[in-house]
Structure 1
Amino acid sequence: MQERAEATRRYLVEAAAHLFEERGFAGTSISDISARSGRTSGAIYFHFTNKEKLALAVVEATLATWPALIARVRASSAPALDKLVSLSFTVARSFRDDVVVRAGSRLWMERKAIEAPVPTPFVAWIETVTELLRDARAEGELSSAVEPETAALAVVYAFFGLHTVSDALDGRARIEERLRELWEVLLLAIQAAPDAPALLARACGPAPAALPA
């Protein structure tokens, strides 16, 4: 019974995510989610007492995807900077391909319209990037002029700013191409012996063919 309830909750979260991602929080109603999911409004209210709770569940599902992903990357034997770059591409693909992640991102941007406290998503990312840059410093891969804590903030700001612009321009269709370009600039600044092409090839393979402009 509990497994069935959890499966229903996950199904409702995904159905709601499609609508929140397309229409935003204010533009989505429980009736809309009912129509999308094929479940009655009463069934939805059984699992989520209001739309705010369902929106929070989408945001929480987004945040819950990251710990296991980070753990897999950190368990690799690759150098720390390779891990950081590889992690960024994995996250970028999640934002591009996973509707729950995209919806969670949009809902966080619309958090002032949600009458409930929405978790802050960036703190754990800053901590993770700081740790990887500290490891890179210990491995001799980080420029001596770079402070890991300061550089971590710059990387996180640039990464999520890239997502905002990429989403606005082409729905993140070119996100991997743009992320490579960003790392070419960042690695020039932070790598002890800058060689962005080699690191990018190790961390995420050869560059794919560019999409038509």
Structure 2
Amino acid sequence: MDTRRAIVVAAAERFAVVGYHGARLSEIVSLSGVTKGAMYFHFPNKEAVADAVIAATDESFAALLADLTAHEWDPLDTVVVLTEQVVDRVRHDPVVRGGVRLLNDAAVAVRHGAAHYRFAEQSVAAPLREAAAAGALREGVDVAVLARQIATLMAGHNLICGRSGTLGELPARVTAMWDALLPLIASEDWLDQHRNRA
């Protein structure tokens, strides 16, 4: 692992546990195994380290979305799989876990959260529009509103699990979310096909 990446990973691990204000640069230096000089060569201050963790988180989610959209899956299935893969990264990728904690930290610039959640809504809205065009959604479903609700539910479940130390419950929460949502938003034809695939 190169020096910069080692610092970003160590910082993300601390931010995930104690938040922005709770993490000290001396702890990040110690955890990363680099020298203080190496830290300051790459990052002038803790804000710059936090920015790098958030940027790496955004890159991870963008790569995930690109990978999923490269497959020619049913668009509504794509949305479900996207949320499942987000959960997997939050649970198993320390950089993503730290980045998500920072995005919801009051000490971090609002612009980061605004850009991230706008991207989340747009990422869900695009396949939902395809699903609507393919007849997979019920008549009258407002795609923009639905995308906002899915992004909000995902953020809420993650926040609750992250702050209550129950990240292991996140997959079951997201499964339950879809169990509740799909009968309300999906067409009967899509639901029938979905049941047959299950």
Which amino acid in the other structure matches residue 143 of structure 1?
Answer: R
**Cross-structure match for 2:155:** 160
Identity %: 32
Separation of aligned partners in 1, 2:160 and 2:135: 33
Map of 1:66 onto structure 2: 61
1:78 to 59, 68, 73: 73
> Which residue of structure 2 lines up, in the alignment, with residue 97 of structure 1?
92
Rate the CA distance shift 1:194–1:94 in 2: closer, same or farther, 3 A: farther
CA separation in 2, counterparts of 1:144 and 1:70?
Answer: 27
1:96: Cα distance to partner? 0.9
How far off is 1:168 after superposition? 3.5
CA contact (8 A) 2:136 2:189 kept: no
What residue identity is the alignment partner of 1:131? A
In structure 2, the residue matched to 1:11 is: 6
Mapped to 1, the partners of 2:18 and 2:96 lie a distance apart of 15
1:49 matches 2:47: no
Further displaced range: 127-136 or 162-171: 162-171
Following TM superposition, by how much is the alpha carbon of 1:145 offset from its aligned partner in structure 2, in angstroms?
A: 2.0
1:27 aligns to 2:31 (yes or no): no
Change (3 A) 1:53 1:67: same
- 8 Å contact from structure 1 (residues 184, 197) kept in 2: no
Partner Cα distance (1:116, 1:125) in 2: 15
1:103-153 CA distances to partner (integer Å, 9 max, x unpaired)? Answer: 11111222x424795353111111121111110011110101201111111
1:22-55 per-residue CA deviation (whole Å, 9 max, x = no partner) reads 1211111111111112222121001101111011
* Counterparts of residues 117-128 of structure 1 (less than 5 Å): 118=112, 120-128=115-123
Q: Which runs of 5+ in 2 are unaligned?
A: none
